[in-house]
Amino acid sequence: MLKKTRALRRAIGVVAAVATWAPLSHVALGQTAKTQPSSDHWVATWAASPQARAGGPARAPQPGATPNPAQATSFKDQTLRMVVHTSIGGSRVRVQFSNAYGTAALMIGAAHIALYIKDGAIVPGSDHALNFDGKPSFSIPPGALAVSDPLNLAVPKLGDLAISVYFPNDTGPQTMHSTGLHTTYIINGDATGVAAMADIPTSRSWYFLSSVDVTAPATTGLIVAFGDSITDGATSTNDANQSWPSQLAARLLANPATANLAIVNQGISGNRVLRDGTATNALARFDRDVVAQPGVKWVMMLEGINDIGQGTRANATPENAVTADDLIAGMKQLVDRAHMHGIKAVGCTLTPYAGAAYYSDKGEEVREAYNNWIRTGGAFDAVVDFDKATQDPANPKQIRPTFNIMDHLHPNDAGYKAMADAVNLSIFTRR
């Protein structure tokens, strides 16, 4: 009897193992699977760093004026259709939503994903509902993250997706990403499955949306572009994917040796290394925005110009004061933390800023010392010289005039292209 019992247990174990590793070939396209095979290799194809909505309460609109949804302090009984641009493609997809800065639970009433055309319209037949543990709605506790169930959907590389989310209840304070650079469409009621959204209020921010992940071959890795507004793509052309990470994505995928690398943009406009500014400082958000990204192998670091500008300008307060040694110490911390998790770090020199509103000669001395350390300090696994790629040959302290959008700080599309072109792709193929 004891032998029979042991034999039965072994048989049950074999059946369970087979069931666990069974392929999902029986799952139809667009169908959600509650569980995912352990062999799935997930890699982020798009991401945006969560931040709290800046500023105080929204100002009341003038009589007869249309309220600006970008200034709304919350959403209620409204659908947001947000557009994201992928790097790599994949056959399965999941979406992550963030309530990082919420003060109460965030109810997602419904969420859909579809291939995007333009002007608020989606590709016919591509729309699919997202589920959470098999259910169409989900409540995200304050400070938490929610991951949708995997969905079988052919996600194109360098393509646009529409994520439509319905919020039935008052969302409260927004977890958002201010510099969206893609149009977000806002409509009343549950319009998650609507084919087109036209002539309705729009915004240039993403809300409660933190990443889109796809399944990819085991050799696929992720590069995280980590920085401030110059990484975020501020002043680049809207709806055109002209930030340097977006332009670098196109180069990576066009090169057979790096076509297995995704890249996501975790820049935040106004971000600083050592202190909070318009968002959480780089030291505090590094684990969330870099280490936690699925598939991450590399991080490109372009941070520090806001620390310098805010800390050395004529009216800088003592608590904002910064030296090159301060910045170097902070960046060393980030490099060490990357290496602790097996992530290789690329140091990126700070671009010129003479003529910017917060420029000072003292700040320029700090920038040059900091850049010199990046180039020669030996802390990084590789270095990209964005300073040399964008400086004016006639005056290296300032950005090249043909790259200057208006403020002597942020590049235009051509300047961002020069930055993307300055990256030696072979650094990502080294062992």
pTM equals 0.89
Q: Give SS3 for 216.
A: coil
- Residue 73: the pLDDT is 79
Beta bridge partners of 226: 266, 301
Exposure of 244 by Cβ count < 10 A (0-12 exposed, 13-18 middle, 19+ buried)?
A: buried
Question: What is the per-residue DSSP string for 258-325?
Answer: TTTEEEEEEE-TT--SSS-SSS--HHHHHIIIIITSTTEEEEEEE--HHHHHHHHSTT--GGG---HH
pLDDT at 37 (0 to 100)? 58
Residue 386 token pair? 């964005």
CA atoms within 13 A on the CB side of 398: 14
What is the per-residue pLDDT for 3?
Answer: 40
pLDDT of 238? 96
Alpha carbons 386 and 296: distance in angstroms, whole number: 22
- For residue 70, the model assigns a pLDDT of 45
Class of domain 219-428: alpha beta
Residue 277: its pLDDT value, please?
A: 86
Q: What is the pLDDT along the chain (431 residues), one digit of tens a residue?
A: 434 344 433 443 333 333 322 233 333 344 444 455 567 999 999 999 999 986 433 322 333 333 344 456 799 999 999 999 999 999 999 999 999 999 999 999 999 999 999 999 999 999 999 999 999 999 999 999 999 999 999 999 999 999 999 999 999 999 999 999 999 999 999 999 999 998 899 999 999 999 999 999 999 999 999 999 999 999 999 999 999 999 999 999 999 999 999 999 999 999 999 999 889 999 999 999 999 999 999 999 999 999 999 999 988 899 899 999 999 999 999 999 999 999 999 999 999 999 999 999 999 999 999 999 999 999 999 999 999 999 999 999 999 999 987 899 999 999 999 999 999 999 999 87
Report the interhelical angle of 413-421 vs 244-254 (nearest 10°).
Answer: 40
Every domain of the chain and the residues it spans: 42-51+72-210, 219-428
pLDDT at 19: 30
Which pLDDT does position 188 carry in this prediction? 97
| Alpha-carbon span 144 to 150, nearest angstrom | 19
